[in-house]
Structures are given as structure tokens and as C-alpha cells.
């Protein structure tokens, strides 16, 4: 929790209290203007000192989740989610609905964005939450809202076994992709349980928009979903029929054997550089684990030396203008977690409907990894994650990226023009401006990663969608800029080559 700002005596000037305040629990919520605030019980303070605080002034995602679960008590709440989401466009939400349905559901989903490593500060929290839940609805990600429902141990064991088999089946279709192991809790969690990424939403190599429109025919690239509920009533399995191809030459698992015989190869993906199985680009296995308040997080499964290629990013290759359209229509939380720019092109990776495992990499201002461009065999280079430091038990083999490096100059320029004697955070708090706050908690943390570029950013009464509609004409978001240079590398036997 950042230190709170309060007045001392009769001084008209507000000063910063340097004491750190720790939250014992959240007991209630209310609406102040267009901001949802929470009643806070402070550790080592009596109830007389309880205060109402906006969500974005608190760094306590697990306590927020505990609070939202007090409103989600019915075992069948997941069955009512779709009906509520379908009404978001047409129904005026009453205060009780906002506090007891909209807010709890959005908390469950929002805390998983970029693994909880950043905080999206929106003064208009109500409209911001509506935009986010509309995105969840429109991209079939309802499973993110199911985490308050914990599966039984029998269900967990049964569904973990099925999911693991289906994921391994998909990985065999793409021999160039690193092996990914998913680690489920050994016993039913007492707090929250995160359903794994839907198999039908996972990409293992980039596709174009034209290919995306033909997904029903290209079942080796994107498999249809199963309607069987799993874990906590989430739709995360693939259609079992997709695991039963009719003949060997139509079996995606063996496409790599027919590289030289294009007549037999039933592969309709983007042209890729042919590789022998022994010349794999990625030699380090990866692992997905879940953490309360953060969702799924990607790690290396074994130690690896510096400069090891780990993973190639995937998404739907789309015009960069789509990234800006998403920012305007869906807000920073969706756009910044979904779009990655491809340097040297006017294109980006759109990862809203379909994504790869790099989506589960947290942000850090002192990252363990970076991104290089690598020749792919087609006009768009691959964005390959590699490690800047040795990954070992000492650092938990954690994979982190500086997702917001591309905004650094803009943030520096803003604070050079705006005095902030009480610190960057309080400067923006006092102005009631929207921004992206870093909570990576490393010594080199920049604290503020992005400041609202809207022409009405300082209008405290403006709704979130009104701010998003007023960006300067010259400002265009083209996707996060994460590649370190435009240099294009090659990879051979798990090593970068000039």
C-alpha cells in the first residue's frame, strides 16, 4: 500500500505521510462519484480509523479477492455469469448490482492481467470494469471469472489428466515449439482456483487475419472447443474429435515429416523455415504455475545459460491500427495486454481471441528476459523471448519482460513538465489522472509505466470512454514495443546466430 497523503494541523498544504499502512481486511464497498471505494481495516488500528480507499490506491489483490468472494457465495454463480454479461450493453446498472455483481466479477478477471504485475489506475472504475467485462464476454474468456469456484479433488485430478493429455497432443503438432508443462495444485486451493488456458485459444505459431477467418478449415492451427465443462465449470478442453484424424497424411502430428513432399503435406499455415527435428530452436522446457491474485505464470522448468531462446510469441498478425482501435474502444487494460508490435512492419500480434504462453509472463522494470527478432521463413519475423541472466533456482527461473519500455520516454517527459515533490504516484493521485502503475517491487522500479495521453486526461468528471475518445491526432498505439532492436537473428540448435 503506498503511503497515504493527509493534512497536518492547520496547514493548507497537503504533505505526504511516509509511514506504510498495511491492510488487515476489506469489509465493505461504496461508490464515490464514478469510483468504487473500499472500507479498509488497518492493521494495528482500531475500527475508528477505518477509511474508504479507491482500489487503485491499494496493493492487495489477494485481500480484494477475499472480499469479492463474500459477494459470491452461491455454488452455481458461474451459471449466471453469461446472462449478466449479455445485459451489460442494454441494462442500466443499479448501485447494488455494481457493488455485488459487476465489481466482484471484474476483480477476479482484472487481477490476472499481466499476472498482476501492473495496476491500471482508472478514476472511472465503473466504466473501466464494464469495458473489461465486455471484452471478457466478446472473447470467450468467461473462465477467468470462475476462479471463486474451487473444484473437488476428484474433479481436479480427472480434469488435470485430460487437460495435460490434450496439451501434449497439441504440442506434438508443432515440434518447433518448446515443451510446456502445466502444474496443477496437488489439493483443492482454499482461496481461488484458476482454470488453465483454453486449448482452443492457444496458438503455437502466428497466423494471419485471412487464416483466422478460415479457422474452421485449419483445425491443426486452431482446434474447436469442447462443450464439456472442466475444473470449475470452465470450457477449457478441445473437441475430442480433433484428436482422431482420418489418415496419417492428414494427421497434424506428422506434417513435419512431409516437408519435402508438398503434395502430401496438409499444412496451410504461414511459410516456415523447414527444420529437422534435431535442429529445434527451443531446447528448454517451460512450466505454467498458478499463484493466488496473479493467475497463471510462465517459468523455465530447468536452469539455462544467458542468451537462451525460450519461446516465440504468437497471435493473429493484424494491421497495427487495430491496436489503436482496441485502445479507444476497450481501454488500456485490454490493449496493453493484447497487442505487440512487429518492428519493421506496420503490423502487430493481436492476442485477444488467440494467444500463446508468453501472455503469462509478468512485467518487471528489471526483467530477466528480453525479445529479439528471428527469421521465420516469411515476411514477418518471429518475436523470440530469451533470457538476459542465468535462470536458476536462485531467481526462481522466473521469466519477466519490460512490457512498457516503449512508453519510458513519454513518462519521463511528462514528469519533467509536471512537478512532483511528493512523488510520481501522488502527483497523479492528486490530479485524478489515469495511468499504469508498476508493482514489480524491484529496486529499479519506475513506478509509473504510462500516463493517460487523452486531451481531457485531467478532467476529473470525464467518463472513461470519453477520455478514450479524445487522444491527440498524432498519438497512435501500434502495440507494445518490446523488441530490443530491429536486427534479425537466426537460431540453430538452441543458439542465436548472427
Q: How would residue 264 be classed by pLDDT, with cut points 50, 70 and 90?
A: very low
pLDDT digits (tens, 9 = 90+) for 177-196: 999 999 999 888 888 999 99
Average pLDDT, the chain: 90
Q: What is the CATH number assigned to the segment(s) 21-140?
A: 2.40.50.40
For residue 4, the SS3 value is coil
For 5-18, b where at least 16 C-beta lie within 10 A, e where not — what string? beeeeeeeeeeeee
Contact 199, 168 (CB under 8 A): no
Q: What is the pLDDT of residue 175?
A: 86
Domain residue extents for the chain: 21-140, 153-315+354-403+484-497
Q: What is the pLDDT of residue 9?
A: 38
- What is the distance between the alpha carbons of residues 186 and 5, in angstroms, rounded to a whole number? 43
- Among 148-162, 247-261, 388-402, name the one with the lowest average pLDDT: 247-261
Q: What is the pLDDT of residue 488?
A: 96
Measured CA to CA in angstroms, residue 19 lies from 5, 71, 211, 289 at distances of 10, 32, 55, 34
pLDDT digits (tens, 9 = 90+) for 307-326: 999 999 999 999 999 999 99
Which residues have a Cβ under 8 Å from the Cβ of 368 and sit 6 or more positions away? 387, 388, 389, 391, 395, 398, 399, 400
Quick check: do 21-140 and 153-315+354-403+484-497 share a fold?
A: no
Total count of residues recorded for the chain? 498
Cell of 474: 498524432
Q: In the beta sheet, which residues pair with residue 398? A: 299
pLDDT digits (tens, 9 = 90+) for 468-480: 999 999 999 999 9
pTM: 0.92
Per CATH, domain 153-315+354-403+484-497 is 3.30.70.270: no
pLDDT digits (tens, 9 = 90+) for 4-55: 433 333 344 445 554 568 899 999 999 999 999 999 999 999 999 999 999 8
Amino acid at each position: 500500500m503506498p503511503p497515504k497523503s493527509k493534512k497536518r494541523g492547520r496547514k493548507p498544504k497537503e504533505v505526504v505521510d511516509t509511514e506504510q499502512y498495511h491492510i488487515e481486511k476489506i469489509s465493505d464497498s461504496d461508490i464515490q462519484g464514478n469510483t468504487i471505494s473500499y472500507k479498509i481495516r488497518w492493521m494495528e488500528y482500531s475500527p475508528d480509523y477505518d477509511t474508504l480507499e479507491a482500489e487503485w490506491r491499494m496493493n492487495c489483490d489477494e485481500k480484494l479477492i477475499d472480499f469479492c468472494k463474500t459477494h459470491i457465495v452461491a455454488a452455481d454463480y458461474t451459471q449466471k455469469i453469461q446472462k449478466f454479461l449479455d445485459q451489460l450493453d442494454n441494462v442500466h446498472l443499479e448501485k447494488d448490482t455494481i457493488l455485488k455483481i459487476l465489481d466482484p466479477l471484474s476483480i477476479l478477471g482484472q487481477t490476472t492481467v499481466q499476472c498482476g504485475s501492473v495496476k491500471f489506475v482508472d478514476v472511472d472504475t465503473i466504466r473501466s470494469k464494464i469495458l473489461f467485462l465486455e471484452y471478457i464476454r466478446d472473447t470467450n474468456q468467461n473462465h477467468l471469472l470462475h476462479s471463486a469456484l474451487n473444484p473437488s479433488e476428484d474433479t481436479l485430478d480427472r480434469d488435470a489428466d485430460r487437460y495435460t493429455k490434450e496439451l501434449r497432443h497439441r504440442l506434438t503438432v508443432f515440434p518447433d515449439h518448446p515443451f510446456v508443462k502445466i502444474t496443477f495444485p496437488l489439493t483443492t486451493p482454499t482461496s481461488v482456483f484458476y482454470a488453465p488456458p483454453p486449448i482452443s485459444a492457444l496458438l503455437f505459431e502466428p497466423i494471419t487475419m485471412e487464416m483466422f477467418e478460415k479457422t474452421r478449415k485449419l483445425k491443426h492451427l486452431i482446434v474447436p472447443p469442447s462443450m464439456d465443462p472442466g475444473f470449475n465449470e470452465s470450457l477449457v478442453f478441445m473437441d475430442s474429435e480433433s484428436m482422431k484424424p482420418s489418415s496419417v497424411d492428414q494427421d497434424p502430428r506428422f506434417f513435419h515429416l512431409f516437408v519435402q513432399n508438398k503434395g502430401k503435406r496438409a499444412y496451410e499455415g504461414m511459410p516456415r523455415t523447414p527444420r529437422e527435428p534435431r535442429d529445434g530452436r527451443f531446447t528448454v522446457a517451460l512450466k505454467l504455475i498458478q499463484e493466488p491474485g496473479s493467475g497463471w505464470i510462465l517459468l523455465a522448468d530447468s536452469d539455462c545459460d544467458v542468451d537462451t531462446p525460450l519461446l516465440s510469441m504468437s497471435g493473429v498478425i493484424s494491421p497495427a491500427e487495430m491496436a489503436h482501435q482496441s485502445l479507444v474502444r476497450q481501454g488500456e487494460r485490454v490493449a496493453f495486454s493484447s497487442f505487440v508490435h512487429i518492428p519493421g512492419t506496420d503490423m502487430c500480434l493481436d492476442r485477444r481471441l488467440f494467444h500463446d504462453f508468453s501472455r503469462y509472463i509478468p512485467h518487471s522494470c528489471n526483467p530477466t528476459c528480453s525479445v529479439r527478432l528471428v527469421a521465420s521463413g516469411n515476411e514477418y519475423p518471429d518475436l523470440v523471448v530469451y533470457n538476459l541472466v542465468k535462470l536458476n533456482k536462485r531467481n526462481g527461473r522466473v521469466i519477466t519482460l519490460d512490457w512498457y519500455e516503449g512508453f519510458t520516454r513519454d513518462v519521463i517527459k511528462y514528469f519533467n513538465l509536471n512537478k512532483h515533490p511528493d512523488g510520481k504516484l501522488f502527483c497523479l493521485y492528486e490530479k485524478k489522472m489515469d495511468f499504469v502503475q508498476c508493482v514489480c517491487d524491484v529496486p529499479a522500479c519506475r513506478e509509473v509505466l504510462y500516463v493517460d495521453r487523452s486531451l481531457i486526461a485531467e478532467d476529473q468528471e470525464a467518463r472513461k470512454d470519453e477520455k478514450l475518445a479524445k487522444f491527440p491526432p498524432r498519438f497512435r498505439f501500434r502495440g507494445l514495443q518490446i523488441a530490443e532492436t530491429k536486427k534479425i537473428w537466426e537460431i540453430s540448435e538452441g543458439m542465436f546466430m548472427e
